Amino acid sequence: MYCGLNNLGNTCYMNSLLQTLFMTRQFREALFKWKYDETKHPKKEDCIPYQLQYLFTKMQEGYENRAVDARGLVRSFQWDPQESFAQHDVQEFCRVLFDAIQQSDDQDFITRLYQSHSQSYVQCLKCQSESVSNEVFLDLSLTVKSDFLNVYNESLERALYYYIKPEKLDGDNKYFCQNCNDKTDALKGFRLKALSDILTIQLNRFELDMNTFERKKVNDYVSFPFVLDMNNFLKPYDQILIEDHPDLLEERERLKIQYEQEKSQGCFSDPLRRKNRKPSPDERVQKVHFDDTPQIVQPDDKAQFKKQLLEAHQEFQQKFQSLKSNNTSSTQFTSQTIPNNPNLILTADEAYDIDSDMLFGNNLDNLGDLGEGTTANTVKALKEVQGSAKTQNYEEKEIQERIENESHNLSVKQKIQELLQNGPNVYELYSVMIHSGGALGGHYYAYVKSFENGDWYCFNDSTVSKISWKTILSMFGDKYPKYNMGSSAYFLMYRRAGEELSTQKPQIQEHLKEAIAKEIQEQKEREEKWEREKKEREMELKIRCFYKSNDVVIKTRKDTLLKDFKLQVRQELNVQEDDENTRIRFYNSNDKIPQETFTNKENETLQCLYFNDYKSVLLETKAPHEQFEEYDPHLMLIKLCVWRNDIESLDESELKPLKFFIRDDKTVDQFMDAITQRLGVPKDKQIILQKNWINGATNYSIRINQQYQLEFTLYDLKIGRNVTLYLEEKQDDANLPLNWDQKFECEKHKCRVTFNDPRKNLLPLESPDYCFELQIDNRKTMKELKEKMSDFLGIDIDSFIVKKSNRYGEEIKDLSTTIKNNQAIGRAAFCLMMGKPSTKGVYKIKVGMGGISQKYSDTIDFEYQDLFEMEINSEWYVKELKEKLCQKVEETKQITLQPNLIRLRYKVNTKLSQVYHNDQLLKNLRLFDNQTIVIEKLEKEDEIKENQLLGYVRFYNPKDFTLSFPPSEIFLNSTDTMHDTSVVISNLFNINQDAIEAIKINNIFSFTITDLVTASFDWQLLKFNENVVSKGPWFLLKDSYFIIVRDAREVPKDMTELRQKVDEILAKSSDPAKIQQKIPMQSIKPKEKALKITVVKKQDEQQKSEEQQKQEELQKQEDEQQGNQQPKEDQLENKGGIQENTNETSKDEQKD
């Protein structure tokens, strides 16, 4: 298997060409013969031929046994890092690369291999004289289809014929003939004169759309042969023979009419698809080209079948070797030697009429007779392969594929020998570079035939896989294209046939092997060093050590022995005791409880003893005559809280639990004895409780010392370490509830209420000061709470209102509701404001106007403008509210609205949420004061029904990395399935229903288009998906949901390009919240940048070196000047100081 090439960003176009050049033996051999000369060439890092040599050596030798990358070659192009992320055309890169190689050295093997000669001429039709201009070219660019010129070439031959077709110059465009000295009718044309050994042909699949004036891809069907006879195209134009092809355009129109007729009759069978469908088994039997009846191999005959298959393979090998040995002799190939093989596509008509099973299936019936004496065994074996495909093992499939490839290669050789009789210009196809995608972006990969074994391979960046020659046929394009995108052949390479091509790899210069071996050794050493450093980091350990009142963190290693670690701890903590009088043990630093010891484990590593980072350990010491206390693994700590009447809360600081150290194998009865011994509480008076943490339980504690539990151990009752138990004495009246249960119940409903002083006036944006606090049971009513607040503040209960949370919260009008029902669970804040409480059922709302924002955004943004405030009655219907709103808008804003052309919606933050329907009663909706209701103006009457939910949907194009804008509205019932959704979306975006995939975006506010690549989404194929939209995985329960859809056929298999593009976007964005502003909008077309390779030459290096030396000398002179100037300044300062001192002395003398 061959090496792949890593994609360095968007370099698939480069990888596909480099793989093709590598598999071109003539190119590789010529490149390996080129020699680097440091006196003539720039340094190796900048020398393009050397870097290409180096890359091809790594690919040929396969040192790494994995994909390699072309970073060294890319650096020699003098590209900046961003250039690898730009998309370019493979033909453009081929021309630029060849030009760079030609500029890099005097030896021009590019010209020898790829340069062809042609003539441009103008022939006067009056005197027959010609004006000729000789030209050279490296590739031919052929027209596939042009709507402007009304041209469609359905085959390579016809495209060549059209390419050299002369243009008549007449009328206003007449040619001035020097010989006739007059303007005459003439023919202007192009003729081929001499062809190169490697013929490069571009199928121009991009043209300008005359309706939109944008570039579009032409994915129409164009066949090309495996053997191309160019002798025909070296003749004068009027002598070239091209058979007429069926008119595909007329046939397409006929099928469309047939499709519309069947659709109107209720028969939904698409003839455009039926044209290429697989035939039924009965139809396939009718197409068999053999007289033999196909035999199905039974499992019992499998051994016999395999034997026949091997015999057939041996016959093929004999035929193949015979033809190879006679290839250069005078042996003539005739139809009797090897009959025509229908599998070989040699002309346009044969390609057009090929059966779809030959394109995509495994039908072997059309293989034909493979030579004299082979029909009886070989054909039978091949048909048995077809009949027993499901029961073959890997080895048998390998033999089958080998037979097919050898059959195809034999047919190719036969056709070559036949065409060579017409002349030497016969070419064999060996590379097909494919473009997948559309005009604004896509992916390149290549199908290349190996000169070593004759097999075809797919080179898709880092992935290389063997393919059948039939796969090439699927790249002809679409006979009936529906979209301006897809996968089709774009760049073809043919090599001259006739001479036997060597199957041996070209020889590599020794210095290249040595350089690569050195590089691999250095890479290996770097990896080994990195592994060592990684293991070293993994072995590092930080332990928290306690000794008396000291607490330090000690760094050590996992492979450290316990005895060595103990010595390290003693040294760190300056412990003077001897080694035998100290020991290390685990430690519970929270409860200050010593834990496991390590007796007789001094020579074990910390890793084996389960030490981990920041594990707490204790260093214990003893006197020489003492013994360490033995560690009891069954000993545990129990915290016991004893009931007191003055307990206010259940905080541990308030409860002050007692600590009991007891073994977990002790019984409850023994634990009660310990309580009696310590607290004096009789056993028959003890009630021991444990909190019950089961959600929804009516009791919040369970008793653990009932009569039947006394003989249970603490371990049996699952009482673990550091558990908290609650003790109280039994009361005389057994029917009374337990004190602890009452406390637990009160604690559950206890609510701390904070509130402000309503008499303090607040500024417009000022928040209230919640300086007062009350504790109350949240099961009480709001009226009771308001009475407490009134008494606390000393103001009348009817002179202030209570609002939830803050000054903008909802006023609590129904005081009969409980505090808990007003969202007060453990702690709550209420804002008090002076004023008369509102009437129940009347609400003050804010009214605004808004809708979908007209500014582009990756998510769903809304625009909103405040209008006014008004009071509404909950007894109104939505229809009445619409009429009143329209009336008030006209009165206050002079804006005329019609009730049937508006939609009312509930506003949450910046999002328009619930849609209000005409027949809904307001009191059945969620109303509160200061609620914002938005008027959304409509162009036509609202189509949404009462049982439907309004959402927004956008189309995602992964090729262009864009989202459709503006978002489209979609109405779904809660009972609709995803299949029903696909019908709606198919009509919205004109997508084939079979290919629709969709996701629901849950977090609308933070979504950006980059999330579609960086995050993980569960794309749902909608057709035949019976999941209800109101249930998983979408859970569409409210309005304003956001759905993104895509065409599954446009999703790239390799996400590398998209990830690189997203990484580039994220790297440029310093603020993640602004990422979506940096992503190109759909309306902005990406600017194409011309591909450029900068060739560095030896003289350029010398000039650069001289300039660098001059700059260094100038810098040195400036530094010297600054150095000389500094001492002078110091001297001046010193002189000034001396002068000052002299003046001061003189003054002092004068004073004296």
Percentage with pLDDT > 90 across the chain: 31
Angle at the Cα of 1080 from the Cα atoms of 1079 and 1082, rounded to 5 degrees: 125
**Sheet hosting strand 750-755, strand order edge to edge:** 772-777, 750-755, 827-834, 800-804
Q: How far apart are CA 504 and CA 451, in angstroms?
A: 8
Instruction: Output the CA–CA distances (angstroms, integers) from residue 545 to 137, 565, 781, 1074, in the order listed.
Output: 80, 11, 55, 47
- Angle 604-610-612 from CA coordinates, rounded to 5°: 120
Beta strands in 297-399 (DSSP E): none
- Concatenate the DSSP letters of all residues of 34-80 into one string: ----TTTS--GGG-HHHHHHHHHHHHHHTSSSS-B--HHHHHHTT--
3-state secondary structure of 272: helix
Q: Identify whether 339 is preceded by a cis peptide bond (ω within 30 of 0).
A: no
Distance in angstroms (rounded) separating the CA atoms of residues 261 and 603? 90
DSSP code of 244? Answer: P
**Residue in the block written with tokens 């864009």:** 962
Closest CA to 437 of 232, 598, 224, 218: 218
Question: pLDDT tens, 997-1008?
Answer: 999 998 887 888
Report yes or no: 620 and 585 within 8 Å, Cβ to Cβ: yes
* Residues 82 and 1064: beta-carbon distance below 8 Å: yes
Query: If 0-12 CB within 10 Å is exposed, 13-18 middle and 19+ buried, where does residue 987 land?
Result: exposed
DSSP 3-state assignment of 615?
strand
Position 1020 scores a pLDDT of 87
Quickly tell me which residue has 């808008």 as its tokens. 889
pLDDT score of 958 = 83
Q: Are strands 550-557 and 540-547 parallel, antiparallel or unpaired?
A: antiparallel
Q: What do you get for the CA distance between the two ends of the chain, in Å?
A: 106
Q: What is the DSSP letter of 341?
A: P
Question: Tokens for 259?
Answer: 């499709």
Distance CA 157, CA 769 (A): 87
Judge whether 468 and 398 are in contact, CB under 8 Å.
Answer: no
* pLDDT for 1077: 37
Do 152 and 205 touch, CB atoms closer than 8 A? Answer: no
pLDDT of residue 274: 36
Collapsed DSSP state (helix, strand, coil) of residue 1097: coil
Domains and CATH numbers, the chain: 284-341+361-408 (no CATH), 536-621 (3.10.20.90), 635-736 (3.10.20.90), 748-834 (3.10.20.90), 842-937 (3.10.20.90), 948-1068 (3.10.20.90)
Q: Is the dihedral of CA 326, 327, 333, 336 positive or negative?
A: positive
Distance (Å, whole) CA 806 – CA 826: 17
CA dihedral 800, 806, 808, 811 (to 10 degrees): -40
HEC profile for 392-407?
CCHHHHHHHHHHHHHH
Backbone angles phi, psi at 587, to 5 degrees: -145, 130
Alpha carbon 22 to its chain's center: 31
Chain Cα centroid distance, residue 806: 44
Give me Rg for the CA atoms of the chain.
44
Q: Looking at 1034-1085, which runs of residues are DSSP E strands?
A: 1041-1047
DSSP code per residue over 619-645: EEE--TT--PPPP-TTEEEEEEEEP-T
pLDDT at 311: 63
The sign of the CA dihedral 844, 850, 851, 853 is negative
Is the four-CA dihedral 383, 320, 473, 456 of positive or negative sign? positive
3-state secondary structure of 1069: coil
CA distance 485 to 962: 16
Q: What are phi and psi of 811, to 5 degrees?
A: -75, 135
The residues of the chain scoring below 50 in pLDDT are 244-249, 266-300, 323-324, 326-380, 382-383, 385-386, 388-391, 696-699, 1070-1086, 1135-1152
With beta carbons less than 8 A apart as the criterion, state whether 559 and 605 touch.
yes
Per-residue pLDDT tens digits for 549-566? 889 999 999 999 999 999
d(CA 558, CA 540): 6
